[in-house]
Amino acid sequence: MTETQQKTSVVVLVSGSGTNLQALIDATANGAPFEIRGVISNRPGVRGLERATTADIPTRVIDHTEFPDRASFDAALAEAIDAFTPDLIVLAGFMRILTQAFVDRFAGRMLNIHPSLLPAFQGLHTHRRALEAGMREHGASVHFVTAELDGGPVIAQARVAVEQNDSESSLAVRVLQREHELLPKVVGWFAGGRLALRDERVWFDGQALETPIQC
Ligand code: GRF
């Protein structure tokens, strides 16, 4: 067996800039216990695809505008994923709502990173909403994906203090920096066999998590 074959294989789904993908790529270059077997985007020509190509990672585009409905897009996406035979699928800046059938197909081996301290601020514009709500803390969460949008069992979180003069963009920059530390760490835990989704709960090192791991 070559060294690569023994590593947990990951497919990363992106929709845009792919800075979280880049964090995973950088982790693999620094000895992480996983390898990225492919990158799939629902949008052509995005920076995330360029990052994969630069790292010699195969890419696919499954353009959602070319499908009549969500189910047919999800079926094509699932097929593209299966072609890479991954152990784990990571949604990294992937901006699509997935059907129950798709989520069921990959249950327990699909992670998402979301820029809020879930369950707060599911959905979009999380930094603006955190500021508007006067939050003193904000951050990012990595969770197992279920059909509930940003609603799956949370594995780990990274926090940032909200500063007095924070704007949406200044807050987003600090959260994104924490995302780039958090995601490779959690993917590494999965690769190490330390994480499982059972009975809709996160199990870490054989224990059911009462609360997300704070990183
Ligand atoms: C990140 O905040 C991620 O949490 C959210 O999309 C943003 C952009 O991610 N889902 P990336 O730079 O494309 O990885």
Q: pLDDT class for 6, splitting at 50, 70, 90?
A: confident
Domain count of the fold of the chain? 1
Ligand 1 mutation target, pool 14, 15, 17, 20, most atoms within 8 A of CB: 20
Does residue 204 surpass a pLDDT of 80? yes
3-state DSSP assignment of residue 108: coil
* CB distance 9 to 58 below 8 Å: no
**177 burial type by CB count under 10 A (0-12 exposed, 13-18 middle, 19+ buried):** middle
Find residue 142's DSSP bridge partners: 113, 156
Provide the mean pLDDT of the chain.
Answer: 96
**49 burial type by CB count under 10 A (0-12 exposed, 13-18 middle, 19+ buried):** buried
Does residue 147 surpass a pLDDT of 90? no
CA 172 to centroid of ligand 1, rounded, Å: 10
Instruction: Work out the average pLDDT over 189-203.
Output: 97
| pTM of the entire predicted model | 0.97
Q: Give the pair of three-digit tokens for residue 138.
A: 């904000």
Q: Is the CB of 113 under 6 A from ligand 1?
A: yes
Q: Give the pair of three-digit tokens for residue 15.
A: 């929709």
Containing structural domain, residue 165 = 3-214
Q: What is the CATH number of the domain that holds 9?
A: 3.40.50.170
- Show the DSSP H helices in the chain as ranges: 3-6, 19-29, 47-54, 70-82, 100-105, 126-132, 168-191
Find residue 35's DSSP bridge partners: 9
Q: Which residue has a Cα nearest atom 8 of ligand 1?
A: 93
Does residue 4 surpass a pLDDT of 60? no
Q: Please state, in angstroms and rounded to a whole number, the distance separating the CA atoms of residues 168 and 214.
A: 23
Looking at residue 1, its pLDDT comes to 44
Strands 34-41 and 8-14: parallel
C-alpha separations of 106 from 74, 84, 131, 174 in Å: 12, 13, 34, 31
Q: Please state, in angstroms and rounded to a whole number, the distance separating the CA atoms of residues 2 and 5.
A: 5
What is the percent of the chain where pLDDT is above 90?
96
Residues across the chain = 215
Looking at residue 20, its pLDDT comes to 98
